Amino acid sequence: MSQALLQALRAAIGADHVLTEGDLSAWELDWRKRYRGRALAVLRPADTAQVAAVLRACAAHGASVVPQGGNTGLVGGGVPDASGTQLLLSLTRLNRVRDIDRANLTLTAEAGCVLQAVQQAAADAGLLFPLSLAAEGSCTIGGNLATNAGGTQVLRFGNARELCLGLEVVTADGQVWDGLSGLRKDNTGYDLRDLFIGSEGTLGIITAATLKLSPLPAAVTTALAATASLEQCVALLGLAQARLGAALTGFEVMNRFSLDLVAQHFPALPQPLPQAAWTVLLEQSDSEGEQQARTRFEALLEAALEARVIDDAVVAESLTQSHGLWHLRESIPLAQAQEGPNIKHDIALPVSAIPAFCAATDAALARAFPGVRLVNFGHLGDGNLHYNVQAPDGQTAQAFMAQHEHAVNTLVYDAVCAVGGSISAEHGVGALKRDELAQRKSPVALQLMRAIKQALDPQGRLNPGRVL
Ligand code: FAD
Ligand code: ZN
């Protein structure tokens, strides 16, 4: 059976792009090195027609397909399982920017375009594609949309969903739905685009997208501020929103331990402020000139100092310094990876609930798992924290996780759900949170989701075992 399928796939996309031998770990092992699977073959189609041909061949042979972009996902959603029967469909050869429409402020890109290349293509046209995350040098626009990625600019521009106007999708049975529209208004029935966004490869294969662009800001200024508590971070956010309005494009928080990890693993990176309980990274993007923007930013920070909302602050003097501050923030996931595995929680809460949530949950974790360390950082402006639990000093990460991961998750997710929060803010469900979702989503929501899955993928061949 599988020989006949492989034969059909070779005919569809060329034998050179049906990989079955050699080291396939680039596709079979996830970024966090938590999920290692084995694929029947890695498929590398060149265009939408070839993706459709692959899906038709898989439908004819009853084979399962796992789509993959840059393989930077953090929930084990984009690698095959261990059965050796699933086909890993890599979209990275679909990497053309098809069109830029300056007047309509849109760009149409194929799914395998690396996010950074899309940002660059927009910038080359004098425009901005604002989606931005630390994996932007390798994640793809298809993966960003399939996971409805967030990142650092959501506060102003929204997540991937809000930056997408249209999609091209190959269905489970190999048909092509051309929904590549640059329309900002279109109320002709159910929104198919929004069904596929965030569906993590379980409803269809995204092959291209029409994306929303913005004018490039005239000036971008960045600052770091030191605060003594999360209450003060929330107060600073309110002050910044009131004074900067829509010009506030970034508001990230980092607890002391997360910056300690960066100092330990990347000692060459300058940390311009003395250690503080919480460090905030603020970014302002403005259509006004550099000088006006800087004056407004400095006035905000002075007011915050005077009101004792912050203890110290530094404004980047140059683009290089500004990149340095962002580099500090973006090095936290990498420093964690160097430190070894930890128990990750990508949670969303009402901003107003965050200080009390952290105070109570930090204390409950300390009681239940003495010595435990918290890498707590994230996008406070969107109410999204990466609330990661690291083994106590002296214990190996593996032993701690093997023994306590389930109990830690229960404690944290119970607390999240008690305040109406979400157990996945921006990374998705994948394999990692599938069982948690089944327990915590309402029966009605699960029933509706299963009905959608059944309608679009009745044989359950698209990324099986993920999300639902
Ligand atoms: P993959 O990892 O290849 O796939 C992710 C999921 O999408 C899988 O379920 C896969 O099956 C599916 N998929 C991929 N391509 C397609 C397609 N064309 N059609 C249908 N399904 C598809 N995420 C955030 O939201 N915000 C962050 O700030 C952030 N920071 C990160 C920082 C680092 C250092 C790393 C490693 C990851 C980070 N992530 C973040 C997670 C990850 O980068 C994003 O989820 C990203 O959007 C995934 O893109 P990808 O191309 O690598 O997708
Ligand atoms: Zn994030």
Q: Are 28 and 80 in contact (CB under 8 A)?
A: yes
Ligand approaching nearest to the C-alpha of 382: 2
Boundary (domain end) residue, out of 62, 90, 118? 90
Exposed/middle/buried for residue 289 (C-beta within 10 Å: 0-12, 13-18, 19+): exposed
pLDDT tens digits along 402-420: 999 999 999 999 999 999 9
* Ligand number with the minimum distance to the CA of 428: 1
User: Is the pLDDT confidence value at 393 over 70?
Assistant: yes
pLDDT number for residue 230? 98
Ligand 2 centroid, distance to 131 Cα (angstroms) = 12
pLDDT tens digits along 231-262: 999 999 999 999 999 999 999 999 999 999 99
Residue 450 included in any domain: no
Residues 6+ apart with CB under 8 A from 269: 262, 263, 324, 327, 328, 331
Q: For atom 26 of ligand 1, which residue has the closest CA?
A: 151
Ligand 1 neighbourhood includes 143 CB (under 6 angstroms): yes
254 and 241 fall within a common domain: yes
Residues 201 and 168 occupy one common structural domain: yes
DSSP single-letter state for residue 39: -
Residue with CA at minimum distance from ligand 1 atom 35: 135
Boundary (domain end) residue, out of 90, 107, 128: 90
Same domain, 256 and 361: no
Per-residue confidence (pLDDT) for residue 340, from 0 to 100: 87
- Residue range 312-368, pLDDT digits in tens: 999 999 889 999 999 999 999 999 989 889 999 999 999 999 999 999 999 999 999
Ligand 1 neighbourhood includes 463 CB (under 6 angstroms):
yes
Q: Tell which atom from ligand 1 comes closest to the C-alpha of 31.
A: 36
Longest alpha-carbon distance in the chain? 73
Q: What angle is formed at CA 355 by the lines to CA 349 and CA 359, rounded to 5 degrees?
A: 110
Residue 358 lies in a domain: yes
Q: What share of the chain is helix, strand, coil (3-state, %, to 5)?
A: 40, 20, 35
Point out the ligand nearest to the CA of residue 134: 1
For residue 245, give the DSSP letter: G
Assess whether 150 and 84 both reside in one domain: no
* β-strands 41-43, 219-227 pairing: unpaired
Give the residue, out of 118, 139, 157, 265, with the most ligand 1 atoms within 8 A of its beta carbon, to mutate for a pocket test.
139
What pLDDT is stored for residue 319 in this prediction?
A: 87
Residue type, 357: F
Whichever domain contains 328, its CATH number is 3.30.70.2190
Count each helix (H run) and each strand (E run) in the chain, helices first.
15, 18
- Looking at 215, 241, 265, the residue that finishes a domain is 215
Q: Are 226 and 313 in contact (CB under 8 A)?
A: yes
Is 455 domain-assigned?
no
Closest CA to 273 of 210, 234, 223: 223
Which residue CA neighbors atom 33 of ligand 1 most closely?
135
CA of 149 to the centre of ligand 1 (A): 7
Does 205 sit in the ligand 1 pocket, CB within 6 Å? Answer: yes
Q: Are 143 and 72 in contact (CB under 8 A)?
A: yes
Residue type, 80: P
Within-domain flag for 323: yes
CATH code: domain of residue 384: 3.30.70.2740
Choosing from 47, 95, 114, 133 the residue with most ligand 1 atoms within 8 A of its CB, the one to mutate for a pocket test is 133
* pLDDT level of residue 286 (50, 70, 90 thresholds): confident
Which region among 231-235, 295-299, 303-307 has the lowest average model confidence (pLDDT)? Answer: 295-299
DSSP state of 222: E
68 lines ligand 1 (CB under 6 A): yes
In a domain, 452, yes or no: no
Same domain, yes or no: 101 and 179: yes
Q: CATH code at 48?
A: 3.30.43.10
Q: DSSP per residue over 371-439, as a string? A: T-EEEEEEEGGGTEEEEEEEPPTTS-HHHHHHHHHHHHHHHHHHHHHHTT-BSBSSS--TTTTHHHHHH
Task: Kindly state whether residues 201 and 257 are assigned to the same domain.
Answer: no
Spatial neighbors of 193 by CB under 8 A, at least 6 apart, are 164, 165, 166, 167, 179
User: What is the per-residue pLDDT for 139?
Assistant: 98
Residue 361 in any domain: the answer is yes
Q: Is 94 in the pocket of ligand 1 (CB under 6 A)?
A: no
Task: Tell me how far the alpha carbon of residue 61 lies from the centroid of ligand 2, in angstroms.
Answer: 39
Render pLDDT for 53-81 as a digit per residue (tens, 0 to 9): 999 999 999 999 999 999 999 999 999 99
**Residue 446 domain flag:** no
Q: Give distance in angstroms: CA of 86 to centre of ligand 2.
A: 29
What are the pLDDT digits (tens) for 130-172? 999 999 999 999 999 999 999 999 999 999 999 999 999 999 9
Pair (102, 211) in one structural domain: yes
Domain count, the chain: 4
What is the pLDDT confidence band of residue 279, given thresholds at 50, 70 and 90?
A: very high
Decide if 449 is inside a domain: no
The structure's pTM equals: 0.96
Cβ of residue 45 lying under 6 Å from some atom of ligand 1: no
Q: Are 75 and 123 within one domain? A: no
Number of the ligand 1 atom closest to the C-alpha atom of 196: 20
Residues 347, 405 share a domain: yes
Query: What ligand has the least distance to the C-alpha of 26?
Result: 1
Residue 149 Cβ < 6 Å to ligand 1? yes
| Co-location of 228 and 273 in the same domain | yes
* Closest ligand, as measured to the CA of 74: 1
Whether residues 105 and 205 share a domain: the answer is yes
Tokens of 272: 């311009």
Q: What is the pLDDT of residue 293?
A: 86
pLDDT of residue 288: 83
Q: Are 234 and 273 within one domain?
A: yes
Q: Is 135 in the pocket of ligand 1 (CB under 6 A)?
A: yes
Residue 74 belongs to domain spanning: 2-90
Please give the number of the atom of ligand 1 that sits closest to the Cα of 333.
34
Residue of 47, 72, 326 best suited for mutating to test ligand 1, as the one with most atoms within 8 Å of CB: 72
* CATH code where residue 182 lies: 3.30.465.10
Name the pLDDT band for 1 (thresholds 50, 70, 90): low
Mean pLDDT of 35-40: 97
